Amino acid sequence: MLSLADIREARERVSDVARHTPLERSRSFSEMSGADLHLKLENFQRTGAFKIRGAMNRIRTLSAAEREAGVVTASAGNHAQGVALAASRAGVDATVVMPKFAPVSKVKATRGYGASVRLEGVDYDEAQAYAHQLERDEGRTYVHAFDDPVVMAGQGTLGLEIVDDCPGLDTVVVPIGGGGLISGVAVAIKEQVPDVRVVGVQAEGAASAAKSLEAGEVAEIDSVDTIADGIATRSIGEETLAVMEEYVDEVVTVDDREIALALTLLLERAKTLVEGAGAVALAAVLSDAFEYDDGETVVAALCGGNIDLNRLGTVVRRGLVQMGRYLKITIDLKDRPGELERVSSIVARTGANVYAVHHDRTSRDVAVNAAELELELETDDAEHAADIVDALEAEGYDVEILS
């Protein structure tokens, strides 16, 4: 099984490539949570995620024959970039298989780091199946994204940094996809400070870890559905399960609304951009997904920052909805002069700001003598949004809240 010595050896191999990323106390999130909350800013890592640690460690342990034959891997994006950069730095040919719906930014970045990219399958697991076919057909070495002790050791170097940088640590919160990161981090921490609690977090739409730990064997879920694409795997690994059973104290889940809220708050309060998978640890703290004491020193690992810009707008909009800062409604109007102006004056009196207006008199769902008005409004908070709805209803309008 993975050992502390393995992780320390990995640090020597990868330290010239993988950055020692900052660990900073957040006053805002400490006040919001009641914990003494610190953020491990792994989104500042080279390639934008922790994956370069494990990928570099694996590439540098290849034999001469394996280096000559090249490597292949499957990834939703972050491991892809890690392998691409590590292989390029080592002069090893790399082919990366990514799901067809992988974020465009991650596909372009992987190619930019020098790997050949093939898009196959609808998710990580189907991409992985195709990558294993290439492994057999082309004689390449498969670099697993998580279920490899050498990769896990590389990821564990993040845990060494947390222990070095956060004296008095009580709890560390780590995302779980396949389990490679939390396995490495848990060993690195528990073997040095056994009393520290290690909490794993999965997205509700990709929650196989708790199921596997309960069953005592790897349990695969049928499908994944989450904005946290970096941890959207159907199952954890055999190797990672064994480590998690021994070293991880608790596994919890967060839903996409909680992830979106955490991501949006990180942008607004910490001026820090993460992807969905990078926000789940903070989401678990802010949503009270696990219990912690007031003043408890908690480190949340922000494991990646590679979010597609097209997705960012959608996720932030969801976060604003959760904060009560965005309101989308429809109102049925009488089709007569002055009605739109009347509604506008009511909205203006409440102090809301209008994002967009859509006025429709032609839809088949609208009566001949009526119109449908859709409004997107910027609001201060949930109470302000409720006041706007109340004001419109007090004037006789039937309001439907869309988001």
Summarised one tens digit per residue, pLDDT across range 335-381 is 788 888 899 899 999 999 998 988 876 666 666 677 888 999 999 99
User: Is-contact 101 71, C-beta < 8 A?
Assistant: no
pTM above 0.75, yes or no: yes
Domains of the chain: 4-49+148-318 (3.40.50.1100), 57-142 (3.40.50.1100), 326-401 (3.30.70.260)
Confidence of residue 235 (pLDDT cuts 50, 70, 90): very high
Top pLDDT among 230 and 44 is at 44
Residues 262-297 have pLDDT tens digits of: 999 999 999 999 999 999 999 999 999 999 999 999
pLDDT, averaged across the chain: 94
Please report the pLDDT score of residue 125 as a whole number: 81
Whether residue 76 is predicted with pLDDT greater than 80 in this model: the reply is no
